[in-house]
Structure 1
Amino acid sequence: MSEQEQARWYVIHTYSGHENKVKATIEKAVQSRGMEDLIQNVAVPVEDVVETKNGKEKIRQRKVFPGYVLIKMIVTDESWYVVRNTKGVTGFVGPNSKPVALTPEEVENMGVEKTETSQAIIDLSIGDKIEVTSGPFIGFSGTIEGINPEKKYLKVNISMFGRETPLELEFAQVKKQND
């Protein structure tokens, strides 16, 4: 019984480009109907991407799963009806549009829900020298210019091709250099 009453993460298929509109519409419906206990969270996972245009680097957010919205909810007839009949929603991901819950591993891998145990304790501060340990810039060294503990990102300047290049890196992608 408690398994049925516990909120789980599900995937909703939407029209591509309508993800944020669907999220806002569901959140508005939840608030107006007082269903906060049934539909607890709606998420559109995004990642930061560095784009170069006319020689200038720009960081923009890109949807990780275009055409999909993640929702944490307790499936009841009412909650299913609200989500399924939201404009822009084509259905739940699962056989015959029946909701199939994501496993805890899938939720963690998608980075949608941060658990308290995954909070990283970092010994980094602005001005520290770091070395990139993973990703496309592996082996490069740089200086920390900013820290975002909520998103677990660092703003780092690395020296590349004879000039300083700003990057956003995850905590796990760097290690502090020993002076």
Structure 2
Amino acid sequence: MDSDAWYVLKTKPKQEIRAVQNLENQGFEAYCPKLTVEKIQRGSRKKVVEAMFPGYVFVHPDDLMEQFYKLRSTYGVASVLRFGDNIPQIPGTFIEQLKQLDNRPEEQAPAVGDEVEIKAGPFKGFMAKIIKLDGESRCFVMLDWMQKQVTAHFSYRDLAL
């Protein structure tokens, strides 16, 4: 086994933070990459910290085979990720790159009045203006189409600020 290797642990639902804390309490180096995103919940904007990979954390044990059962029985951990008998290794350089992403500026949800470009569908390439937010992942936009103002409904992922 590679001494620089990290491994993936499957956590119990919504227990990534608990798993990392319990792993660190046992002396393991553990990491759960997070994102701070702005979401619209019940009509208001809120900043929420979420796991980048929900249900998974990374761990760097000294000796995986010797500590396998200790890792697996940690509170918050469901299992060690494996494919049959193969336990995939994650290079330490990849984890370092993820840690650098933690320092990125936060993602922001679009606001009413923002000018956006449509990235997908029949209106791809059109510019539009957000006129109403609809939940945490969709919005209504106003765009010019065939010399008329048209209202359309889009997912945020289909729009670019």
Q: The TM-score by the shorter chain falls in which range?
A: 0.5 to 0.7
**Aligned: 1:161 with 2:158:** no
The equivalences for 1:1-179 within 5 A come to: 4=1, 6-30=3-27, 39=28, 41-53=29-41, 55-96=43-84, 98-103=86-91, 107=95, 111-114=97-100, 151-153=103-105, 161=113
Shift of 1:105: 7.2
Taking structure 1 as reference, are residues 58 and 92 closer, same or farther at Cα in structure 2, changes over 3 Å only? Answer: same
Name the structure 2 match of 1:170: none
Counterpart residue type for residue 153 of structure 1: P
Residue 8 of structure 1 aligns to a residue whose secondary structure is: coil
Name the structure 1 match of 2:118: none
Identity %: 19
Taking structure 1 as reference, are residues 97 and 5 closer, same or farther at Cα in structure 2, changes over 3 Å only? Answer: closer
1 or 2, which has the higher helix percentage?
A: 1
Shift of 1:12: 0.4
Alignment RMSD (CA, Å): 3.5
Instruction: For 1:160 and 1:84, locate their aligned partners in 2 and report how far apart those are by CA, in whole Å.
Output: 47
Contact 2:38 2:107 (C-alpha < 8 Å) held by counterparts: no
Instruction: For 2:85 and 2:78, locate their aligned partners in 1 and report how far apart those are by CA, in whole Å.
Output: 9
Residue 54 of structure 2 aligns to a residue whose secondary structure is: coil
Taking structure 1 as reference, are residues 94 and 57 closer, same or farther at Cα in structure 2, changes over 3 Å only? Answer: same
Shift of 1:50: 1.1
Taking structure 1 as reference, are residues 154 and 98 closer, same or farther at Cα in structure 2, changes over 3 Å only? Answer: closer
Shift of 1:23: 1.0
Query: What TM-score comes out, normalization by structure 1 length?
Result: 0.50
Counterpart residue type for residue 152 of structure 1: R
Query: What TM-score comes out, normalization by structure 2 length?
Result: 0.55
Contact 2:72 2:79 (C-alpha < 8 Å) held by counterparts: yes
Name stretches of at least 5 consecutive residues in structure 2 with no aligned partner.
115-161
Name stretches of at least 5 consecutive residues in structure 1 with no aligned partner.
31-38, 119-149, 163-179
Contact 1:43 1:112 (C-alpha < 8 Å) held by counterparts: no
